[in-house]
Structure 1
């Protein structure tokens, strides 16, 4: 394309690309560094808080002869966590043999009969068993359901098909869908929806949880990147 001539008959100088100021350059680099450092710092602070709380409660229970703080002039960070892991491992080993199962069964019956304790104990026991149970059907699928009104869709996780009295009452193929709230996914609603009225998504449960935690700001890539085939021959670069 021909350049426009100036009044004197010459060609004007070519358009120059806008230069970025030093302040804008520094600001961009600062925010880029903050995006990288913020998740690392938050993770470190949370782990530091949890380890400190565990140490504060476990270390005082350790006998003085076994406590390294008795011989050292400073506290050993994470020692309480190590003791807790060892204790839970030993407890799990005891619980797997015949005598251990009998003792735990007696304790379970006693706690289940105390008027106030049994409600809390049974609720937490069922909750722990649900999360500890190795069941691939639990929260294995992310779906969209039309809620709370027509034309409005929300993200949910399939828990299990309707069973027992609920399945017999509803009939048909209904799915139990847990709809978590944002940004606290531990609370939400349990709904039973006709399987024909849900839209099944290809994103993983982890990707769906990240999307809910970020209030929709973190969106998984679509279409998802193809996974490498381990059986495919590797390319050898020349």
Structure 2
């Protein structure tokens, strides 16, 4: 009985503590960016006291304003000039273009990346895990591999789903699943403890 109550307490406090820690880290990091401003320009100088999280609010406003500016003709011209400059810097070019392409894929309304969950045999036949279909390899790559219906699948590592393996496999080697994207991510983050709802009800 004591173990039951202790486990119930852990289930309440640990997720709450981790959530607070993540939010506090984001707020502290955003507030630290205000240190880049001249002392007289910082919000603390105008308000007379520090407001936690104001850096995050300002960052959101800056992102929104720059998005509006970049969306017009003049902004597009400035952006092209800026990217042309970055393209000439050897070490910066692959990082900038790679990150931009990933964001364009994820943020696009038409993209199907990370919207389809599949079951894939990994790291060897007979061992299954959840993966996410992210794209289809280019025609040149597909021709070199010799596949007829290749797809690129991302398999996250546990418990950190931000890293993982990118695999090019035949569509026929994958099994469809009713698991949602959220459920599949929770499966990896929880080390397999949190299984999709469809599995629980089966």
1:116 aligns with 2:66: no
* C-alpha spacing 1:95/1:63, structure 2 compared with 1 (3 Å): farther
Query: Structure 1 stretches of 5 or more lacking a match?
Result: 1-23, 226-238
Deviation at 1:178, TM superposition (A): 1.4
TM-score, L = length of structure 2: 0.87
Distance 1:115 1:159 in 2: 28
2:195 aligned with 1:219, yes or no?
A: yes
Contact 1:161 1:176 in 2 (8 A): yes
Whether contact under 8 Å (1:139, 1:205) holds in the other structure is yes
Q: Which moved more, 1:149-158 or 1:88-97?
A: 149-158
Match for residue 127 of structure 2 among 146, 149, 152? 152
- SS for the counterpart of 1:222 is helix
Q: 2:151 aligns with which of 164, 175, 179?
A: 175
The whole-number CA distance in structure 2 between the counterparts of 1:105 and 1:210 is 39
Query: Cα–Cα, structure 1 residues 62 and 203, in superposed 2: closer, same or farther, change >3 Å?
Result: farther
Q: 1:190: how far off?
A: 1.9
Equivalent pair of 2:105/2:111 in contact (CA under 8 Å): no
Decide which of 160, 173, 176 is 1:200's aligned counterpart. Answer: 176
Bigger relative contact order (CA 8 A; separation at least 6): 2
> Do the aligned partners of 1:58 and 1:84 also contact (CA within 8 Å) in 2?
no
Give the alignment's TM-score, normalised by structure 1. Answer: 0.75
Paired position in structure 1 for 2:186: 210
Could you tell me how far 1:167 is from its partner in structure 2?
A: 2.6
Decide whether aligned partners of structure 1 residues 28 and 160 sit closer, same or farther in structure 2, where only a CA change above 3 A counts. same
Q: 1:67 to 1:40 in 2, by over 3 A?
A: same
Shift of residue 30 of structure 1? 3.5
Residue from 66, 70, 84 that aligns with 2:59: 84
State the partner residue of 1:229: none
Q: Deviations over 1:146-201 (max 9, x none)?
A: 23333222321112234321233424222221122222222222222222221111
Quote how far apart the aligned CAs of 1:109 are. Answer: 0.3
What are the ranges of 5 or more consecutive residues in structure 2 without an aligned counterpart? none
Structure 1 runs of 4+ with >4 Å offset: none
Deviation at 1:55, TM superposition (A): 0.5
Instruction: Name the structure where helix makes up a greater proportion of residues.
Output: 2
1:189 corresponding residue in structure 2: 165
Larger-gyration structure (1/2):
1
